[in-house]
Amino acid sequence: MYALVEFLGKQFKVEPGAELKVPHLKGEAGDKITLDKVLYYEDEKKKTVGKPYVKGLSFDASILSQGRDKKVIVFKMKRRKGYQKKRGHRQEYTIIKINDLAKTKKQKKEDE
């Protein structure tokens, strides 16, 4: 079972128990979040495509840790002009763990 979820303007493939590296979120380790914009869902029996999202389906997740990526160097130069700029950037990220799938009552009735 897996799903494609839109979260913070990006798309992620999620499965229960998976850990994802997503853009920085406000919160502490252990905080709960909900991924409710499910674009596609597949289990053993059937596949569901959202229009644009699958109704009545969401994933619960928790924040494991916060961090910063390796430094990326941005170097600008114009030849023969003596112009040079060197900048560094470290992107912040959050690691989340997908706990389980949450269905509403409406979705459960459609499956049966």
On whether residue 73 sits in a domain, the answer given is: no
On whether residue 26 sits in a domain, the answer given is: yes
On whether residue 53 sits in a domain, the answer given is: yes
Cα angle 10-39-100, degrees, rounded to a multiple of 5: 90
Give CA–CA dist 74/43, Å, rounded: 44
Going by their DSSP bridges, the two strands 83-89 and 92-103 should be labelled as unpaired
Q: What is the DSSP letter of 46?
A: -
- The predicted structure's pLDDT at residue 12: 96
pTM listed for this prediction = 0.79
Name the residue among 7, 13, 11 with its Cα closest to residue 41: 13
Q: Tens digits of per-residue pLDDT, 11-51? A: 999 999 999 999 999 999 999 999 999 999 998 889 999 99
Q: What is the DSSP letter of 55?
A: T
The domain tally of the chain equals 1
On whether residue 42 sits in a domain, the answer given is: yes
User: Which phi and psi angles does 2 have, rounded to 5°?
Assistant: -155, 170
On whether residue 84 sits in a domain, the answer given is: no
Domain holding 7, by residue range, is 2-66+94-103
Give CA–CA dist 35/87, Å, rounded: 35
